[in-house]
Structure 1
Amino acid sequence: MAKGDLHTVIRLNKLEIDELRRQLGVLHQEEAALQAEDRRLDADLARESGHVDAHPEAAFTFPGYLAAHRQRKDALAQALADLRQRIERMRDDLAELYRTRKTYELAQEARDARTARERARKDQAVLDEIGLTMHRRRRAEDGEDDPGGH
């Protein structure tokens, strides 16, 4: 890596971003699974309520089922809240990585521009020297041809 070159650091940062985005995708899949489980629990409750309506003798066990259902829903809601906090933290981390990468890219662009200007300045100095040398030669040749020595 050349002195002042950030391309490797930028590449590593991009790899970190890709990995974090992959992990975020996994968390979103977990969130979708928890939401599906929540919908399943609601469907189960509706089915059991319908069963109780159809079979009044089942009403004696329904309060126990309802209490267990509420516990599962509460646990699921807590798991979903925890997962969403993790997702939010990961999004914050991802945003920070993007900001860092942008900083690196801007710094590298500035370095590249400075290097290009320096190279152009050196190239121009060489061209100026060549032009000056050619001008001196022409003057010297003209001076040899000029009997007055002007």
Structure 2
Amino acid sequence: MATRSHAPLIRLARFKVEELQKQMAEIERARASINDQIDRLEESVPEEQAIADENRDGYLAYGSYARSVIQRKDKLRTSLGEVDAQADELRGRLEAAFADLKKYELLEERRLLRIQDALKAAEQAEMDEIASQMRQRAQ
């Protein structure tokens, strides 16, 4: 009973897992970048407030600046929500790919154990045959 190797399926599954992991890393980088942008915007507000307090023109322009910061942060948070949704979807695909890889690896492991067991059984049968022949000669 010769069964085919699962090695091609394992290679394909590993490739799929690696590609999904790369995509997940890109999403994590995008998330980190968006969070950095939000942090920079939040850090810039006190600086701009200080500048606005120093002179009248700055004080008048600060309202526009504050509105633009709020809008930008809202857009970034929306983008962050989209990135998080993509990450959740990708995480599900990655879990499924890992499960497939594990399944193929277990199938291959079982196939190799069956081959090993068959070889041991054949070896044992050959040894039994030799022992039987030796007993017959001894009689």
Q: Report Cα offsets for 1:32-74 as digits up to 9, x if no partner.
A: 1111111111122222111111223322222222221111110
Question: What aligned pairs does 1:1-150 form with structure 2 within 5 A after superposition?
Answer: 3-139=3-139
TM-score (norm 1): 0.83
- How far apart, in 2, do the equivalents of 1:105 and 1:74 lie? 46
- How far apart, in 2, do the equivalents of 1:123 and 1:58 lie? 92
Matched residue pairs, number?
138
Gaps of 5+ in 1: 140-150
- How far apart, in 2, do the equivalents of 1:3 and 1:129 lie? 27
RMSD: 1.6
- How far apart, in 1, do the equivalents of 2:32 and 2:17 lie? 22
- How far apart, in 2, do the equivalents of 1:48 and 1:56 lie? 13
- How far apart, in 2, do the equivalents of 1:48 and 1:55 lie? 11
SS of match in other structure, 1:93: helix
Once the two structures are aligned, what percentage of the paired residues are identical?
25
- How far apart, in 1, do the equivalents of 2:54 and 2:6 lie? 71
SS of match in other structure, 2:5: coil
Letter aligned with residue 107 of structure 1? L
- How far apart, in 2, do the equivalents of 1:3 and 1:127 lie? 26
> 1:132 deviation in Å?
0.9
SS of match in other structure, 2:97: helix
TM-score (norm 2): 0.89
- How far apart, in 2, do the equivalents of 1:79 and 1:36 lie? 13
Letter aligned with residue 126 of structure 2? V
SS of match in other structure, 1:22: helix
- The aligned residue for residue 143 of structure 1 is none
- How far apart, in 2, do the equivalents of 1:105 and 1:38 lie? 44
